[in-house]
Structure 1
Amino acid sequence: MSGSEGTFCLVLHSHLPWLAHHGNWPVGEEWLYQSWAHSYLPVVDLLRRFADEGRRDVLTLGVTPVLAAQLDDPYSLRSFHEWLGTWRLRTEHAAGLWRGQDALSALAADEHRTATRALEDFETRWRHGFSPVLRSLVDSDVVELLGGPLAHPFQPLLEPRVRDFALRGGLDDTRLRIGRRPEGIWAPECGYAPGMETGYAEAGVRRFLVDGPSLRGDTSAARTVGSSDVVCFGRDLEVTYRVWSPKAGYPGHANYRDFHTWAHEVGLKPSRVTGKTVEPADKAPYEPALATETLGAHVKDFVDTVVTRLRSLREQHGHESLVVAAYDTELFGHWWHEGPAWLEGILRALPEAGVRVTTLRGALEAGHLGGPVDLPASSWGSGKDWRVWDGEQVADMVADNTALQHRLLAAHERTGLRDPVRDQALREAMLALSSDWAFMVTKDSAADYARRRAQTHTARSDELLALLDTDPARALSRASTLRAESPFGHMDARTL
């Protein structure tokens, strides 16, 4: 659709670290299953309905290889199926426990309907994992798919060989799952170091995301990076932060369902936000009608914000401009209960307001390409620099990761036949290098779990390489055991 006001691109970044076999509650597999049920199922359902309507180029969807691996993993599929069944049982228990309490009884009934639909959707459409579902959306051009490095490492802190291995491995993994290699990536944490575009070009990456300050706030067009043909798109923070910022955004409204308050006797969330300083026990009951009314106002506010921004940019530049808003997929449904309905609302309302809604690829086809730019070292984290991943709080983790990479490179200088022990040692190292662990420590979000995960995978990698020299038979047995709990079975250490 041609837009008289300008062009809008919605980018969703879908990512969780590898959680299967690594704890359950409060972090671990429960995190995966909640995100799956409350974000991935409804967002895919929305995209499928757009496909049935003949809509194309609806949004740009980033799916990290490590998340795709979990959503295809037989163990995760079985466990999630059981989780969905338990969710429905919990709603039935809640219905009995809350009988006679109007608001809570209605909530239990609505939650039961939602759980039943999710279970039916999973059993009929997701039986063979996520990849067939995703491939249908990509092949029908409903979404443009972004890939990324294998286990979501913070790329600027990687040794060049390790960085190249992780990126090419991630792109190859996506090709195995959906039949084609993505042309674009969501660089983990939008992390960038000058010169990385050269590696991108060599790996076949043609476009990637950076945060708005990397382009000094001028995100009205994509730009080629340095002397390369690789294109970067910048997140428009004026628009993006309208929804979710470090301090505010729609999901914190008093009428929306509160993420943090649980009725632990049934495992459901019965309250609305009510107020940021209100204690959980004092929060008001969730009222869907109030949330729906607020949602309508927030859809309108966002559409008005986009139109106003595009008009301002056209006045400034003298032509139609581009707005890119980018978020974690898990915001919609998992963190913000009403998020999927909000997504549908804006994706239907923006075209009616004269805005061209398309993908990053579609934005380039529409001509939104400016001149070259030299990007600074940057990320989308606090300070828009690297402090979240290499700051004082995680200095020991950075040192451990650097040493791990050096040991890996030294151990894999030797060539020869493929070795399952070396392959598994490399898988463990990739999991240890995930950017999630430093993020969780810096933000003090399950920091103990994050440190333990990084240390566990590092120790396993070192253990396997040590056993390879001292006890090859035991090394093979240990590698086989760990392989059953790991992603990326195709990983070949010789390619490092």
Structure 2
Amino acid sequence: MTDPVGTFCLVLHSHLPWLARHGRWPVGEEWLYQSWAHAYLPVVDVLGRLAAEGRRDLLTLGVTPVLAAQLDDPHCLRGMHDWLGGWLLRAHGAAPRLPGLAVREHRAATAALAVFEERWRHGGSPVLRDLAGSHAVELLGGPATHPFAPLLDDTVRAFALDAGLTDHTRRFGHRPAGIWAPECGYAPGMETGYAAAGVERFLVDGPALHGDTALLRPVGDSGVLAAGRDLDVTYRVWSPRAGYPGGPDYRDFHTFDHPSGLKPSRVTGRHVAPHDKQPYDPVRAAAAVARDAADFVRVVRERLACIRGRLGRPGLVVAAFDTELFGHWWHEGPAWLEAVLRALPAAGVRVTTLRGAMDAGLVGGPVTLPESSWGLGKDWNVWAGDAVADLVALGGTVQRDLVTSAAGTSSRARDPLRDALAEQALLALSSDWAFMVSHDSAADYARGRARSHADRVAQLSRLLAAGDRAAAATAVASWEPGPFGHVDARRLGRPRPTAGLRPR
């Protein structure tokens, strides 16, 4: 067999904010259950099937701690089981009006229920641990609640990362050496904190490396490697303007049969009104999957051939996507994913994980990275712009309350009240709230969530400062359970100066 033309790394980033007991629909637990049913179940099924064939190092899978907590949470597990049963009932109800759609959805719901009851009923961690243990995937960790780390004080940033890495270790049995930096957010100097936490590699968007993403790159003299997302390849699938999921033969995400909530139409055309869209045809969709998978393999191979010609050695292509694209947003995404993972090796492309790329020596010279993210404009504006100035200010207050509260204890024992304050602070600092406001997507819900968690932090901070532990305990007892019982406020250590909080 000839040497591979180069190496391809697929990175999937699985994340949702903490939704348990915080609304149901249109924003809340429904979001979790849809993503679980239509993306997490089928994607893991694809990976499990390929692993059973003896395939290894298929892709790098990021699962944020706050999502992993929900996949293990008894309340969410019960809710997911109920949701799958509701999906089956909705399929039954659609049969008189849409018999073809009802049959397809009945089969899909039945299969999902069987998989969930057989493998997921006791939580997602055992399922993902099996995939990692079979070396099918490399699991990435990250900060606990997916905060936009460049806006965090160094002390809070280190605390959030430590809480996330600790959670990963508890669920999956190992401390991860790679992380998904939330929103691919980076500020100069963050690599020092990564190195101190034992992180060896993280993701940035391609423009942070000026598009030169053909090798992993050490950041300064830290020894920590940055993997850059190749946008020319990634945007072939999903871009702000184009990509395979918008093809006319794929199922349309936005068009509903309102009585059942099912999706009966194909995209048909980008400017076709919902009532004019054509019925979904699985045969046409399968042909589109085969065509687009072959196109992607061609694009990757051609990209790697160009890199090899430029470098004089085999190089690397990293394509990174939200996991929720595959099945939730793009119904046919899991089938496309399986087709690509089967076809790339046959086309002379080595498929591996970020760890595998590092072990293979696909590492270039050191780089200096600028402030960056994978948001619109590739800067910090989505999370720090004028539209979210109130949330930035709120986050600053939350951080100061958190650091001040942690400094207020001299006990060697854990303090459950300060731990509860720390958990609420982490939830308030989630990057999702600013993202949703900047994109005008359930902005009221996002602002309400950020403020509710911040208000709890402020309330508890005041009560603890006043020495009123009885009232503080009463307040905490009235809150719904959170994701991280292991959060230990003592791990904040001695507070550093908060001058690092940068006005925006």
Mark the runs of 5 or more structure 1 residues left unpaired by the alignment.
99-103
CA distance in 2, matches of 1:471, 1:274: 63
2:435 paired with 1:455? no
* 1:397–1:299 CA distance, 2 compared to 1 (3 A): same
Q: Per-residue deviation at 1:494?
A: 1.5
CA distance in 2, matches of 1:420, 1:4: 54
Question: 2:114 corresponds to which residue?
Answer: 120
Moved more, 220-229 or 279-288: 279-288
CA distance in 2, matches of 1:280, 1:454: 34
CA distance in 2, matches of 1:3, 1:481: 62
**In the alignment, is the contact (CA less than 8 A) between 1:420 and 1:479 conserved in 2?**
no
| Pairing partner for 1:304 from 298, 303, 321 | 298
Task: Output one character per residue of 1:73-129: Cα deviation in whole Å (capped at 9) or x when no partner.
Answer: 01000111101111101101111x32xxxxx32221011011001101111101210
2:473 paired with 1:479? no
Question: 1:403 corresponds to which residue?
Answer: 397
Question: 1:278 corresponds to which residue?
Answer: 272
CA distance in 1, matches of 2:474, 2:2: 60
| Pairing partner for 1:466 from 443, 462, 466 | 462
2:200 paired with 1:184? no
Moved more, 459-468 or 39-48: 459-468
Question: Secondary structure of the residue that 2:458 maps to in structure 1?
Answer: helix
Question: 1:48 corresponds to which residue?
Answer: 48
Letter aligned with residue 489 of structure 2: A
CA distance in 2, matches of 1:151, 1:34: 20
2:123 paired with 1:139? no
- The TM-score normalised by the length of structure 1 is 0.97
Aligned positions, number: 489
**In the alignment, is the contact (CA less than 8 A) between 1:425 and 1:461 conserved in 2?**
yes
RMSD (Å), alpha carbons: 1.2
CA distance in 1, matches of 2:360, 2:119: 34
Identity level (%): 65
Instruction: After the TM superposition, list the runs of 4 or more consecutive aligned residues in structure 1 that deviate by more than 4 angstroms.
Output: none
Letter aligned with residue 388 of structure 1: V
2:422 paired with 1:426? yes
**In the alignment, is the contact (CA less than 8 A) between 1:255 and 1:274 conserved in 2?**
yes
Task: Output one character per residue of 1:8-39: Cα deviation in whole Å (capped at 9) or x when no partner.
Answer: 00000000000111111111110000000000
Question: 2:362 corresponds to which residue?
Answer: 368
**In the alignment, is the contact (CA less than 8 A) between 2:22 and 2:29 conserved in 1?**
yes
Moved more, 149-158 or 457-466: 457-466
Q: Per-residue deviation at 1:3?
A: 4.8
Task: Output one character per residue of 1:287-312: Cα deviation in whole Å (capped at 9) or x when no partner.
Answer: 11111111111001100000110111
**In the alignment, is the contact (CA less than 8 A) between 2:57 and 2:138 conserved in 1?**
yes
* 1:396–1:320 CA distance, 2 compared to 1 (3 A): same
Letter aligned with residue 39 of structure 1: A
Task: Output one character per residue of 1:292-342: Cα deviation in whole Å (capped at 9) or x when no partner.
Answer: 111111001100000110111111111111100000000000000000000
CA distance in 2, matches of 1:313, 1:183: 27
Question: 2:166 corresponds to which residue?
Answer: 172
Question: Secondary structure of the residue that 1:323 maps to in structure 2?
Answer: strand
| Pairing partner for 1:228 from 222, 232, 239 | 222
- The TM-score normalised by the length of structure 2 is 0.95
Please give the residue correspondences for 1:27-42 in structure 2 after superposition, counting only pairs within 5 Å: 27-42=27-42
**In the alignment, is the contact (CA less than 8 A) between 1:152 and 1:435 conserved in 2?**
yes
Question: Secondary structure of the residue that 1:369 maps to in structure 2?
Answer: coil
CA distance in 2, matches of 1:124, 1:376: 47
CA distance in 1, matches of 2:13, 2:166: 19
CA distance in 2, matches of 1:465, 1:224: 40
Question: 1:64 corresponds to which residue?
Answer: 64
Q: Per-residue deviation at 1:2?
A: 7.8
Question: Secondary structure of the residue that 1:371 maps to in structure 2?
Answer: coil
CA distance in 2, matches of 1:334, 1:36: 8
Q: Per-residue deviation at 1:466?
A: 2.4
Q: Per-residue deviation at 1:191?
A: 0.3
Mark the runs of 5 or more structure 2 residues left unpaired by the alignment.
493-504
